[in-house]
């Protein structure tokens, strides 16, 4: 019961953050888009309909049906967290059967086109019925699946096959990005992986994640001293304060886009914007970490004065 209440509390925290981010983001894109980029920039971030039907868009946004560009992750996370109690119950009682059920939902969603409805039409960019497979798989490994597969993770077969798969994935990605390079391969092969199906979590995306995760477990011990190096501290802080970092990143992404449109899209500008964005998000994460530490400090006892 305690776990369920904490899950609901976390989902509520993310929902509140989403609503705040949603409101401010609409204003940011609508105002600065009209001021600097015109309607073209507003259309690019899927905010044009807000200017035409503000009340309807706000309502649809509150029930997670309308999502501007870059704001698709938090609604997905909210849905998956709310489903966590049922998922954990299944994993703790029969983790393999629960994982099998997750695969069945995944394949059914892809086959029948199941998805959550979106406004003004279509479905969610990140289909929860497909992406739940990645979420359940991570939980499956955490509750004992990692120990069950450790022999395979340490095997030479995975090393060879996994490396070959990652190389193949790199080649297909480059073939889809650079037409001259893609012409070196059969068109039917390149078209199987390009465009990349992100909405319904293409199976090769899922396999790619598994291979990378297995390699990390195999070659990077949990107690590796290098993880304590100061160079990794910003990444650790941002990971610990992931919600605040993500929300800040949404605002910074649009601001960087406006700068590149109005000033320059040169590589030097992209590098500067990337560095500035990382520094700002790290400072926000550091402040939140420091603030949490201060809140946990014992309060000084009140002094009583005798008359």
Last residue of a domain, one of 30, 55, 82: 82
Domain assignment present for 198: no
82: pLDDT strictly greater than 60: yes
Residue 163 has what pLDDT? 94
B/e letters for 114-149, b = 16+ CB within 10 Å, e = fewer, are ebeebbeeebbbbbbbbbbbbbbbebbbeeebeeeb
Domain assignment present for 142: no
Give residue 146's pLDDT band: very low, low, confident or very high (50, 70, 90). confident
User: How large is the average pLDDT for residues 178-189?
Assistant: 88
Domain assignment present for 96: no
Last residue of a domain, one of 54, 82, 110: 82
Share of the chain above pLDDT 70, in %: 94
Residue 251 has what pLDDT? 86
The three-class DSSP label of residue 143 is helix
303: pLDDT strictly greater than 60: no
How far is CA 302 from each of CA 181, 294, 295, 297, 299, rounded to the nearest angstrom? 73, 18, 17, 15, 9
What is the total residue count of the chain? 307
User: How large is the average pLDDT for residues 90-94?
Assistant: 90
- Encode pLDDT of 206-262 as tens digits: 999 999 988 988 888 878 888 888 888 888 899 989 888 998 998 888 888 888 888
Last residue of a domain, one of 47, 82, 117: 82
Domain assignment present for 32: yes
The three-class DSSP label of residue 123 is strand
- The rounded distance, in Å, linking the Cα atoms of 16 and 10 is 10
How many Cα neighbours within 13 Å face the side chain of 159? 6
User: How large is the average pLDDT for residues 14-33?
Assistant: 84
Domain assignment present for 254: yes
Cβ atoms of 196 and 174 within 8 Å: the answer is no
Q: Which residues contact 29 (CB under 8 A, 6 or more apart)?
A: 41, 42, 45, 47, 68, 254
Residue 305 has what pLDDT? 55
Q: How many domains does the chain have?
A: 2
Please give the residue that has the higher pLDDT: either 68 or 163.
163
2 CB neighbour count, 10 Å cutoff: 6
Domain assignment present for 48: yes
The parent domain of residue 285 ranges over: 229-294
Domain assignment present for 211: no
Domain assignment present for 193: no
- Encode pLDDT of 273-301 as tens digits: 999 999 999 999 999 989 888 877 776 66
* 80 Cα distance to chain centroid: 12
- The rounded distance, in Å, linking the Cα atoms of 2 and 67 is 32
**What are the two backbone dihedrals, phi and then psi, of residue 154, each rounded to the nearest 5 degrees?**
-85, 0
55: pLDDT strictly greater than 70: yes
Residue 126 has what pLDDT? 93
- Encode pLDDT of 98-143 as tens digits: 999 999 999 999 999 999 999 888 899 999 999 999 999 999 988 8
């Amino acid at each position: 019961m305690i776990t369920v209440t904490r899950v609901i509390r976390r989902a509520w925290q993310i929902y509140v953050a989403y609503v705040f981010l949603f409101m401010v983001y609409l204003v940011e894109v609508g105002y600065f888009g009209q001021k600097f980029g015109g309607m073209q920039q507003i259309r690019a971030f899927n905010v044009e309909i807000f200017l035409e039907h503000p009340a309807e868009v706000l309502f649809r946004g509150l029930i997670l049906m309308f999502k501007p560009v870059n704001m698709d992750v938090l609604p997905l996370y909210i849905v998956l967290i709310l489903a966590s109690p049922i998922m954990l119950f299944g994993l703790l009682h029969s983790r393999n059967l629960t994982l099998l059920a997750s695969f069945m939902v995944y394949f059914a969603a892809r086959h029948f086109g199941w998805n959550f409805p979106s406004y003004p039409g279509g479905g969610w960019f990140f289909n929860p019925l497909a992406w739940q497979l990645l979420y359940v798989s991570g939980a499956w490994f955490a509750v004992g699946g990692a120990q069950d597969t450790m022999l395979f993770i340490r095997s030479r077969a995975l090393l060879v096959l996994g490396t070959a798969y990652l190389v193949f994935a790199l080649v297909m990605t480059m073939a889809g990005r650079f037409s001259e390079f893609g012409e070196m391969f059969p068109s039917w092969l390149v078209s199987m992986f390009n465009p990349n199906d992100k909405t319904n979590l293409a199976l090769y995306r899922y396999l790619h994640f598994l291979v990378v995760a297995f390699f990390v477990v195999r070659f990077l011990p949990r107690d590796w001293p290098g993880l304590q190096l100061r160079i990794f501290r910003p990444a650790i802080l941002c990971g610990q304060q992931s919600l605040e970092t993500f929300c800040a990143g949404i605002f910074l992404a649009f601001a960087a886009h406006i700068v590149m449109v109005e000033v320059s899209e040169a590589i030097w500008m992209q590098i500067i914007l990337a560095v500035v964005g990382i520094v700002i998000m790290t400072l926000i994460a550091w402040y939140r970490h420091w603030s949490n530490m201060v809140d946990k400090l014992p309060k000084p006892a009140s002094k009583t004065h005798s008359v």
